[in-house]
Amino acid sequence: MTDERTDARGGLGIACSNLRMHYGKTQALDGLDLAVEPGVAMGLVGRNGAGKSTLFRILLGMELPDAGTVKRLPRQLDDRSFLARTGYVPDQLSVYDWMTVGSAIEYVGKLQPRFDSRWSDTLVVDLGLDRTKKVTALSRGMQARLAFVLGLSHRPELLLLDEPLLGVDAVSHDAIPAILARMRSEIGSAMLVASHSLGDLARFTDRIAFMEAGRVVEECATDDLVSQTKRLVLRPEPVAFALPPETIHVTKADGAIVVTVRDFTGDLLERVRATLPNGSIDVIDLTIAEACTDRMRAMEVRA
């Protein structure tokens, strides 16, 4: 037992099961299963059109799915109480042009039954916002900070973040992760974060789910994604060679075959070595961006 518990104190989670949603001829969600346990931060990675925004709209109660269920964990809340405990930070701030930072916060405060004005004040100060400024006069980075204040002022137990740091300047980029870390330590909030910025996901998340064509095709621990996805450089290029089952991607590069594998272990390396008695094998570590890119390529092939 450790002294400082960072896990959930009664926080919310969600379990989506077999969600289906179509618009016209487009099948936006095609049997999506995804569980975010209380206190867990889940990253959502997928190309544009993979169904991420549709999933967010359903979780926010803005749309009803054609089929499937969303279960709230650990307690079954009605829609209203669930949404009152959910915080949403969109990639685009949507408030009226005439509003100032202060009036936008006040406006949201009136709509949000669990609005916590002291916490909201803390966020405004920590994120360095000026209440008197007009929203239209804010820089992209400041608008993103305001979106966080509006989305988090009611101390939500579940955070839904859609590209939260898109186009954000370096200074805001430092301030926002600190706020997220604080939400997680103090409230034990669970998070679902869609982002193309994989480095950010490496910082915030416990797990990453990959979406493709309306489903979650894979889910793994963020640390494992970086430490257990490797590229094996087989040299010289083997004539006949059976790929290990852990293979997710293969390319040729002058005189060598480069095999990206998941779940890398010493045992896997020995198995590959045994099949290539005369060749050399080099193991290359990957960044999170490289590890994700190779996985996405593999999904493209499968799709």
- Name the residue among 221, 189, 185, 183 with its Cα closest to residue 205: 221
CB of 37 to another protein, least distance (A): 12
Cβ–Cβ under 8 Å, residues 175 and 126: yes
How many other β-carbons are positioned within 10 Å of the β-carbon of residue 89?
23
Percent helix, strand, coil in the chain, to 5, is 35, 30, 35
**Which of 66, 130, 282, 300 touches another protein (CB under 8 A)?**
282
Tell whether residue 287 is a contact of another protein (CB under 8 A).
yes
From CA 131, how far away is CA 102, in angstroms rounded?
Answer: 4
From CA 287, how far away is CA 298, in angstroms rounded?
Answer: 17
**Which of 79, 223, 237, 300 touches another protein (CB under 8 A)?**
223
H-run or E-run covering 105: helix 101-111
Tell whether residue 180 is a contact of another protein (CB under 8 A).
yes
CB of 200 to another protein, least distance (A): 7
Tell whether residue 4 is a contact of another protein (CB under 8 A).
yes
Amino acid 73 reads L
Amino acid 235 reads R
Owner of token pair 């997680």: 184
Give the x-and-dash track for 142-171 against another protein (CB under 8 A).
-----------------------------x
Tell whether residue 257 is a contact of another protein (CB under 8 A).
no
**Which of 28, 158, 288, 292 touches another protein (CB under 8 A)?**
288
CB of 39 to another protein, least distance (A): 8
CB of 84 to another protein, least distance (A): 24
Cα distances from 130 to residues 105, 117, 176, 230, in angstroms, run 12, 16, 16, 47
10 Å CB burial of residue 230 (0-12, 13-18, 19+) is buried
Residue 181 contacts by C-beta under 8 Å, 6 or more apart in sequence?
none
Q: Which of 147/180 has CB closer to another protein?
A: 180
Cβ–Cβ under 8 Å, residues 297 and 217: no
Tell whether residue 285 is a contact of another protein (CB under 8 A).
yes
Q: Which of 147/288 has CB closer to another protein?
A: 288
Tell whether residue 16 is a contact of another protein (CB under 8 A).
no
Tell whether residue 237 is a contact of another protein (CB under 8 A).
no
**Which of 50, 142, 176, 248 touches another protein (CB under 8 A)?**
176
- Name the residue among 47, 65, 67, 46 with its Cα closest to residue 55: 65
**Which of 7, 79, 130, 300 touches another protein (CB under 8 A)?**
7
Strand 41-45 to strand 190-194: parallel, antiparallel, or no bridges (unpaired)?
parallel
Tell whether residue 45 is a contact of another protein (CB under 8 A).
no
**Which of 147, 149, 202, 299 touches another protein (CB under 8 A)?**
202
Length of the chain: 303
If binding means CB under 8 A, how many residues of this protein chain bind another protein? 44
Binding-site ranges for another protein (CB under 8 A): 2-4, 6-7, 41, 122, 126-127, 171, 174-182, 184-186, 199-200, 202-206, 222-223, 226-227, 233, 235, 256, 282-289
